[in-house]
Amino acid sequence: MKMHGLGNDFVVLDGRVQTVKMTANLAQAIGDRHRGVGFDQLAIIEPSEGDAAARLTFYNADGSTAGACGNATRCIARHLMTETELPELVLTTERGHLRARDAGRGLTSVNMGPPQLAWDKVPLAKETDTLELPIDGAPTATGMGNPHCTFFVADAEKVDLESRGFEIEHHPLFPERTNVQFASVIGNNHLRMRVWERGVGVTLASGSSSCATAVAAARRGLTGPRVQIDLDGGTIEIDWRDDGVWMTGPTAHVFTGTLRPDWLEQAS
């Protein structure tokens, strides 16, 4: 299935129907926008034990794995809620159990869990104050199941996102590399954000990046715990509550297709 949340696009493989044996090379081949399908992230739906509706595994476009992917989680949650006719369900990821629910008006909410604020949980390479990192621009580090580095700037539109994003993704302070966000306060509890995703590059939106930016803004006293974030692909709502960071926004299921066996053999 090809899906997207605010232009943050995904290939979703249903491993409940047929076992999916994913490799870095195959993920890269599917992610190729000219010779494959193309995606920012790839997600695999697999059976899960207990009360969870399914287990999700994520890959980036460069073939590396990702511990969390907020917009893909919302897209799959919407798909499974439609399939089961349930208004809410639980999904299991490397991040743990994530609650999802129908928010009405065609919107889907997912609780991405509590943010990771300690330096060794983000993780960083050494003990450092995560509120203001010793990097030019004093960004904030946040873990949301994957690492994030958020810069607050006067005008996010003027940032050279491609060069700065690549540079910060590979900064030695982040041993697992990092997602990078540049955000500006444009109103009361209203942010404008642009995103560079680890292992992908510039994307139109990122759910976990939106959560991390909302948490960083609240920690720095720039906003309250509930914010509206305008991304290149649209608007998302983030609400940092006692039980975790809730993310609410639209989803889209674009098409369902089949990868040909001869192409898969060549791609693998």
Query: How sure is the predictor about 50, in pLDDT bands with cuts at 50, 70 and 90?
Result: confident
Domain boundary assignment for the chain: 2-112+251-267, 140-242
- Three-state DSSP class for residue 8: strand
Concatenate the DSSP letters of all residues of 188-233 into one string.
Answer: TTEEEEEEEETTTEEES--HHHHHHHHHHHHHTTSS-SEEEEEETT
pLDDT for the residue numbered 49: 83
Choosing among 3.40.190.10, 3.90.1300.10, 3.10.310.10, 3.40.630.30, the CATH entry for 2-112+251-267 is 3.10.310.10
pLDDT digits (tens, 9 = 90+) for 95-124: 899 999 999 999 999 999 999 999 999 999
- pLDDT of residue 145 exceeding 90: yes
Domain 2-112+251-267 shares a fold with domain 140-242: yes
- pLDDT of residue 59 exceeding 90: yes
pLDDT for the residue numbered 217: 98
Q: Which CATH class is domain 140-242?
A: alpha beta
- pTM confidence score: 0.95
Average pLDDT of the residues of the chain: 96
Query: How sure is the predictor about 268, in pLDDT bands with cuts at 50, 70 and 90?
Result: confident
- pLDDT of residue 17 exceeding 90: no
